[in-house]
Amino acid sequence: MMEDKVSDAFEMFEKDGQVIFLQQQAIYRQLAREVEGSTVVEAGCGIGVGAAMMNQTARSVHGSDKSERNVRFARCVYPWLSFFVWDITKNKVGPYEVVVAVEVIEHVNDIERAVHNLRDSAVHEIWISTPNGTNKPLVPENPLHVREYTPEEICLWMRPYDVTIHHPDTWEILNTDTDVDPLVYHVWKQDRIRS
């Protein structure tokens, strides 16, 4: 089971003076550009930092997490945003124009159900960042990860939709044979109409 992100954030702030990893900050900055003008739901929002970053450009952002404690904390820190409890392995939500899941799917046990619900909750597109499981042991070194997936596996789950794989820092489009870690996946369901 994934450790509570509220506790993680406090420990991280005491140690490093920040509440999310620098790599995640870079991903959220890029995502804020990508989701401009859209309605967005973030799966696994933790304490809401990423949702707040995307809210600077999106029409609306709804943060969700399976932990009620994380959702309560996020509501206190970002009272102008909407947060709710959502376990992505249980059901779909929305629909929302864009679904975002940053460093989430490696933590879930029922990956096929989770991916199905992420897909069904998005009208236009899905953004997923997750560790690159290429050439890694089946049991991840990180004890909080259930499994780390290869680009081929993720692209297979997203069929018949188009998937592009992005470098987390440069946003360069990569092939499935990359060793970059983590990776960001963009799944196009339909063309998005920006308002």
Residue by residue, DSSP assigns 168-185 as: TTT--EE-TT---SSEEE
Paired tokens of 173: 């489009």
Paired tokens of 120: 């069904």
Q: Give start and end residues of each alpha helix (H) in the chain.
A: 5-16, 22-34, 49-54, 68-77, 111-121, 151-157
Q: How confident is the model at residue 89 (pLDDT cuts 50, 70, 90)?
A: very high
User: Residue written as tokens 């990956």?
Assistant: 111
pLDDT at 32 > cutoff 80:
yes
In a domain, residue 67? The reply is yes
Q: What is the mean pLDDT of the chain?
A: 89
In a domain, residue 127? The reply is yes
| Contact (CB, 8 A) for 146 and 138 | no
Q: How many domains does the chain have?
A: 1
Tell me which residue range forms the domain holding 80.
5-188
Name the β-bridge partners of 183: 130
In a domain, residue 54? The reply is yes
In a domain, residue 80? The reply is yes
In a domain, residue 167? The reply is yes
pLDDT at 194 > cutoff 60:
no
In a domain, residue 195? The reply is no
Tell me which residue of 11, 56, 65 sits closest to 31, measured CA to CA: 56
pLDDT value of residue 2: 41
In a domain, residue 193? The reply is no
User: Residue written as tokens 């600077």?
Assistant: 56
Tell me which residue of 137, 133, 143, 145 sits closest to 107, measured CA to CA: 145
Q: Which residue has the higher pLDDT, 46 or 86?
A: 86
**Helices 5-16 & 68-77, crossing angle to 10 degrees?**
50
State pLDDT tens for residues 158-187: 989 999 999 999 999 999 999 999 999 999
pLDDT at 188 > cutoff 70:
yes
pLDDT value of residue 110: 95
Paired tokens of 79: 């009272």
pLDDT value of residue 6: 56
What's the CATH code of the domain at 100? 3.40.50.150
